[in-house]
Structure 1
Amino acid sequence: MKIRDIVNRDIVNLTNCEFEPIHIPGSIQPHGFLIGVNILSWKIEFCSGNVESYLDLKPSQILNTDFEIVFGEEIKKTASDYIQKNRAVLSDPFQLNFNNKEFLCTIHKSGENYILEAEPFLENTVKTGDVYNQTSQFLSYMNDTHTLQELCAQVAKGAREITGYDRVMIYRFDKDYNGEVFAESVRDDLEPFLGLHYPHTDIPVQARALYMQNLLRMIVDINYTPVPLFTIDDGNNSKNLDLSLSLLRSTSPIHVEYLQNMGVGATLTISLIHQKKLWGLIACHHYSPKNITHEMRLAAQLQGHFITSQIDIRQSNEEYEVARKSNIALEKLNSFDLSANEKSFETILKSAEILEVCNAAGVAIIFNSKIYKKGLTPDDFNIHKLTKILAIQSKNSFFVSDKVIDFLPDSADFCAEASGVIFHALSLDGNDSIIWFRPESLTELNWAGDPKKAIVKDSKGLYPRNSFKLYKEIVKCQSKVWLQPELNAAANYAHTLQKQLNLLIISQEEEKYRKLSEVLKETNSELENINWISTHDLQEPLRKIQMISSRILEKEEIKYSENIINSIQRMNNSANRMQTLLIDILKYTRIKNADEAFEIVNPNVILEEVLLDLSELIEEKKAEITIENLPKIKGMPFLMKQLFSNLLQNSLKYTEEGKIPVLMVKSLGVQNVDGEGAFEVLAFSDNGIGFEQIFAEKIFKIFSRLHAQEAYKGSGVGLALCKKIMQAHKGLIFAFGELGKGAIFKLYFPVSN
Structure 2
Amino acid sequence: MTVQRQAGSEPGYSLEHAVTTSCDREPIQRPDAIQPHGLLLIADIASLTVLGGAGDIEGRLTPDWLGRNLASILDVPTGRFEDARHVSLSDLRISGLAGETFSVVCHAQDTHFLVELEPIESHTLLTWDIFGEIDRTADRFERCPDIASVCRHGATIFQRVTGFDRVLVYRFMEDGTGRVVGESRNDTFPSLMNHHFPASDIPTQARALYVRNRIRVIPDITYEAAPIRPSDAGLAGLNLSDVQLRSVSPIHLQYMANMGVRASASVSLVVDGVLWGLIACHNSSPKPLPEDIRAACRTLAGVMSRQLRNKEELVTYQERLRLRNAMESVTSHFDVRRPLENNLRSCINELQALFPCNGFAVISDETISATGVLPDTKSLHQLHDWLRAGNHGGIFSSALLGRDYSPAADWPERCAGLLAITLPLRTPICLLWSRVEIIQTIEWAGNPHKDDADSDGILRPRTSFRTWEQTIRGHSTRWTGEQKQAARRLRRVLIADDQTQQLRELNATLAATLEEREDLLRQKDFLIREVNHRVQNSLQMVASFLKLQARSASNDDTTTALKEAQHRIAAIGLVHRRLYRDEHVGVVDLGRYIEELMEELCTSLGEGWHDQMHLSLFPIMIAADRAINIGLILTELIINTSKYAYSGHAGPLYVGLAQAGTRLVLTVSDQGECTPQLKGTGFGTRMMNAVVSSLAGTLTYTTLNPGLEAVMTLPLDSLLPTETQPRPRDTSSQTPYPYP
The 1:390/1:198 distance shift into structure 2, 3 A limit, reads farther
Distance 1:211 1:323 in 2: 32
Distance 1:357 1:176 in 2: 27
1:91 shift after superposition:
8.8
Q: Are 2:254 and 2:461, in contact at CA under 8 Å, matched by a contact in 1?
A: yes
Distance 2:240 2:213 in 1: 10
Q: Are 2:141 and 2:153, in contact at CA under 8 Å, matched by a contact in 1?
A: no
Q: Are 1:7 and 1:228, in contact at CA under 8 Å, matched by a contact in 2?
A: no
Distance 2:474 2:143 in 1: 38
Letter in 1 for 2:203: P
Q: Secondary structure at the match of 2:268?
A: strand
Letter in 2 for 1:224: Y
- CA deviations on 1:294-315 (whole Å, 9 max, x unpaired) are 1101111222112111113323
Instruction: Select the residue among 252, 257, 260 that pairs with 1:260.
Output: 257
Matched, 1:296 2:293: yes
Report the more deviating stretch, 297-306 or 418-427: 418-427
Give the corresponding residue for 1:53.
59
Q: Are 1:6 and 1:230, in contact at CA under 8 Å, matched by a contact in 2?
A: no
Give the corresponding residue for 1:102.
101
The 1:752/1:457 distance shift into structure 2, 3 A limit, reads farther
Matched, 1:216 2:215: yes
Instruction: Select the residue among 30, 35, 40 that pairs with 1:29.
Output: 35
Give the corresponding residue for 1:360.
357
1:167-566 correspondence to structure 2 within 5 Å = 167-231=166-230, 233=232, 239-318=236-315, 322=319, 325-339=322-336, 342=339, 344-345=341-342, 347-348=344-345, 350-366=347-363, 372-379=369-376, 382-383=379-380, 386=383, 395-409=392-406, 411-427=408-424, 433-453=430-450, 455-459=452-456, 461-503=458-500
The alignment covers a number of residue pairs equal to 524
- CA deviations on 1:443-497 (whole Å, 9 max, x unpaired) are 2211111111162524473312211111111221211223444344433322221
Distance 1:430 1:276 in 2: 46
Distance 2:173 2:41 in 1: 39
Matched, 1:80 2:81: yes
1:46 shift after superposition:
3.2
The 1:422/1:124 distance shift into structure 2, 3 A limit, reads farther
The 1:398/1:225 distance shift into structure 2, 3 A limit, reads farther
Q: Secondary structure at the match of 2:129?
A: helix
Distance 2:239 2:726 in 1: 77
Instruction: Select the residue among 64, 67, 70 that pairs with 1:67.
Output: 70
The 1:143/1:119 distance shift into structure 2, 3 A limit, reads closer
1:436 shift after superposition:
2.5
Letter in 2 for 1:75: V
Q: Secondary structure at the match of 1:180?
A: strand
Distance 2:466 2:357 in 1: 37
Q: Are 2:125 and 2:291, in contact at CA under 8 Å, matched by a contact in 1?
A: no
Distance 1:752 1:264 in 2: 101
1:179 shift after superposition:
0.7
Report the more deviating stretch, 130-139 or 279-288: 130-139
1:84 shift after superposition:
6.5
Letter in 1 for 2:117: A
Q: Are 1:396 and 1:430, in contact at CA under 8 Å, matched by a contact in 2?
A: no
- CA deviations on 1:4-32 (whole Å, 9 max, x unpaired) are x9647493337611111111111111111
Distance 2:103 2:387 in 1: 58
Q: Secondary structure at the match of 1:285?
A: strand
Q: Are 1:388 and 1:431, in contact at CA under 8 Å, matched by a contact in 2?
A: no
Identity across matched positions, percent: 26
1:322 shift after superposition:
4.8
Letter in 2 for 1:67: L
Q: Are 1:22 and 1:251, in contact at CA under 8 Å, matched by a contact in 2?
A: yes
Give the corresponding residue for 2:702.
none
Q: Secondary structure at the match of 1:452?
A: coil
The 1:343/1:113 distance shift into structure 2, 3 A limit, reads closer
For structure 1, the residue ranges without an aligned partner over 5 or more in a row are 515-595, 600-633, 636-728, 731-748
Distance 1:269 1:85 in 2: 27
Q: Secondary structure at the match of 2:118?
A: strand
1:189 shift after superposition:
4.3
The 1:232/1:263 distance shift into structure 2, 3 A limit, reads closer
Give the corresponding residue for 2:641.
none
1:95 shift after superposition:
2.0
TM-score of the aligned structures, taking structure 2 as reference length = 0.62
Q: Are 1:456 and 1:465, in contact at CA under 8 Å, matched by a contact in 2?
A: no
Distance 1:7 1:415 in 2: 55
1:194 shift after superposition:
0.9
Matched, 1:42 2:40: no
Matched, 1:129 2:128: yes
Letter in 2 for 1:159: F
1:424 shift after superposition:
3.8
1:207 shift after superposition:
0.7
Q: Secondary structure at the match of 2:276?
A: strand
1:180 shift after superposition:
0.8
The 1:44/1:366 distance shift into structure 2, 3 A limit, reads farther
Matched, 1:18 2:24: yes
Q: Are 2:403 and 2:409, in contact at CA under 8 Å, matched by a contact in 1?
A: no
The 1:308/1:597 distance shift into structure 2, 3 A limit, reads farther
1:52 shift after superposition:
2.6
Give the corresponding residue for 1:691.
none
Q: Secondary structure at the match of 2:18?
A: coil
For structure 2, the residue ranges without an aligned partner over 5 or more in a row are 1-8, 512-584, 589-621, 624-721, 730-740
Distance 1:362 1:460 in 2: 49
Distance 1:198 1:349 in 2: 47
- CA deviations on 1:548-603 (whole Å, 9 max, x unpaired) are xxxxxxxxxxxxxxxxxxxxxxxxxxxxxxxxxxxxxxxxxxxxxxxx9999xxxx
The 1:429/1:276 distance shift into structure 2, 3 A limit, reads farther
Report the more deviating stretch, 437-446 or 208-217: 437-446
Distance 2:139 2:348 in 1: 45
Quick check: which has more Rg, 1 or 2?
Answer: 2
The 1:199/1:244 distance shift into structure 2, 3 A limit, reads same
The alignment's C-alpha RMSD in Å is 4.2
Distance 1:242 1:401 in 2: 42
Distance 2:454 2:426 in 1: 50
The 1:233/1:475 distance shift into structure 2, 3 A limit, reads same
1:56 shift after superposition:
4.1
Distance 2:94 2:587 in 1: 102
Distance 1:501 1:388 in 2: 21
Letter in 1 for 2:221: I
